[in-house]
Amino acid sequence: MSGRLTTHVLDVSQGKPAAGMRVQLWRLRLAEKGARTMLREAFTNEDGRLGEPLLSGDEMAAGIYELMFDAAGYFRGTAGEGFLEWIPVRFVIGDPQAHYHVPLLVAPGGYSTYRGS
């Protein structure tokens, strides 16, 4: 099985997928005084998902990663002004052969995340 990293975003305030949200994936190297590298930037589709995995196959590597979700940009287009700006979700990929799915449930005033399947 080839590992992969995926995400999707649900707008719980409207009860639907969060289409058009900007998502960035960063690789962190905390031992190097917080050095980080942006690996991908994409926008969610009508189903709140990305068209392809953020990482897959040989791109998958053990390490610390951060997904950044542009909540402010999304809510400016749907709900007007919101409370949240960028939502960071920092996590560890320990097994590059595994599937890591990181969903985001978001509303103008709060969010939740978990490791999905």
Report if residue 59 sits inside a domain: yes
Averaged pLDDT of the chain: 93
Report if residue 116 sits inside a domain: no
Report if residue 103 sits inside a domain: yes
Mean of pLDDT values over 76-100? 90
Domain range spanning residue 82? 4-108
Contacts of 80 (CB under 8 A, 6+ apart): none
User: What pTM did the predictor assign?
Assistant: 0.93
Mean of pLDDT values over 12-27? 96
Report if residue 43 sits inside a domain: yes
Report if residue 54 sits inside a domain: yes
Half-sphere exposure of 79 (CA within 13 A, CB side): 18
- pLDDT at 1 exceeding the cut of 60: no
Rounded CA Rg of the chain: 14
Lookup: tokens for 85: 């700006």
- pLDDT at 65 exceeding the cut of 90: yes
- pLDDT at 68 exceeding the cut of 60: yes
Cα distances (Å, whole numbers) of residue 91 to 13, 26, 36, 82, 108: 25, 11, 14, 25, 23
| CATH assignment of the domain containing 76 | 2.60.40.180
Q: How many domains does the chain contain in total?
A: 1
Share of the chain above pLDDT 90, in %: 85
Lookup: tokens for 103: 């969903």
Report if residue 113 sits inside a domain: no
